Amino acid sequence: MVGSSRSKFGVVLVVLVCCLALQGCNGGDVAAYNESAAAVGAGWGNAKATWYGQANGAGPADNGGACGFKNVNQYPFMGMTSCGNQPLYKGGKGCGSCYRVRCSRHPACSGNAQTIAITDMNYFPLSQYHFDLSGTAFGRLAKPGRADDLRRAGIIDVQFERVACEFPGLKVGFHVEEGSSPVYLAVLVEYENGDGDVAQVELREAGAGAGAGAGWTAMRESWGSVWRLDSNHRLRAPFSIRIRSDSGKTLLAPNVIPLNWRPNTFYRSFVQYSS
């Protein structure tokens, strides 16, 4: 009976580790956390790291994730992405934030820090801070030729620090999500330099007034980095959008969504946070 119990325990443990290290981003995040260590300039903190998806992939099979970003295998993310647990994902408000991550305790670790972006959510943390990295990002923490050795470790200790995001050549973008209509608008916000994330989004319709505070309507966080507005009237385009970052910096994209806007369409602004 004792042997049988130990066998069952071993199976459960193996399944749990496989879920964490190979699948990633699932389970139940129930703990309360102090998020101060995930602020820009807070210095280095300690965390656990796992990886998920393909060994040289960007994490999710569809190259997306719980933040709503698309094609994270391409520029500017290039697969250097991660799920974050609640102190990193912040209920979606941490989407797009950037971190430098390094490891040194495993023999395959290079000790060199790599920059990653939060693009997905980790529901099942192993520690107060837990990065479930893409296979590509996890492998970049290794010494040359040792990426597979490090991936086989599955779970490693890492150090991390919040850093400013840099997206050279890109302006802030707005993707009007599928399902948007004349009385409902859902917008994915992406590619913000600096903090990299969005804490507040406001929309101003055409003809709403010229004053600095006139006509702005707060949008509600829908999920990830998607913000929505449920209107009691037919919305009047073009739309200007004002965003506020985690540190309180604001940015205005005037008339960024045009008169003839369409759902499932990306609109590039002409503005960006200064580096």
Task: Return the half-sphere exposure (C-beta side, CA atoms, 13 A cut-off) of residue 201.
Answer: 27
Residue 31 forms part of a structural domain: yes
> Same domain, yes or no, for 252 and 138?
no
Q: What is the dihedral of CA 154, 158, 163, 168, to 10 degrees?
A: -40
User: What percent of the chain has pLDDT above 70?
Assistant: 83
With a CB cutoff of 8 Å and minimum separation 6, the contacts of 60 are 25, 53, 72, 120
Mean pLDDT of 138-150: 97
Cis ω for the linkage preceding 238 (within 30 of 0): yes
| CATH code of residue 79 | 2.40.40.10
Q: What is the pLDDT of residue 29?
A: 39
- Amino acid making up residue 118: I
Band (274; pLDDT cuts 50, 70, 90):
confident
Look at the alpha carbons of 78, 27, 113, 42 in this order and tell me if their dihedral is positive or negative: positive
> Same domain, yes or no, for 211 and 261?
yes
Query: For 84-121, what is each residue's pLDDT tens digit?
Result: 999 999 999 999 999 999 999 999 999 999 999 999 99
Q: What is the average pLDDT value for the chain, to the nearest integer?
A: 88
Query: For 224-272, what is each residue's pLDDT tens digit?
Result: 999 999 999 999 999 999 999 989 999 999 999 999 999 999 999 999 9
> Same domain, yes or no, for 109 and 237?
no
> Same domain, yes or no, for 124 and 40?
yes
Q: What is the pLDDT of residue 1?
A: 40
Specify the pTM. 0.86
Q: How many domains is the chain built from?
A: 2
With a CB cutoff of 8 Å and minimum separation 6, the contacts of 151 are 51, 55, 135, 138, 139
Cα 125 from Cα 87, distance rounded (Å): 10
Residue 45 structural domain: 26-163
Q: What is the largest CA-CA distance in the chain?
A: 78
| CATH code of residue 199 | 2.60.40.760
Q: What is the pLDDT of residue 19?
A: 42
Which residue, of 145, 163, 181, is where some domain finishes?
163
User: What percent of the chain has pLDDT above 90?
Assistant: 79
Query: For 23-54, what is each residue's pLDDT tens digit?
Result: 456 544 334 445 566 766 678 999 999 999 99
Mean pLDDT of 214-221: 92
Question: Could you give the C-alpha distances from 31 to 34, 56, 89, 90, 129, in angstroms and in order?
Answer: 10, 31, 14, 13, 11
> Same domain, yes or no, for 178 and 159?
no
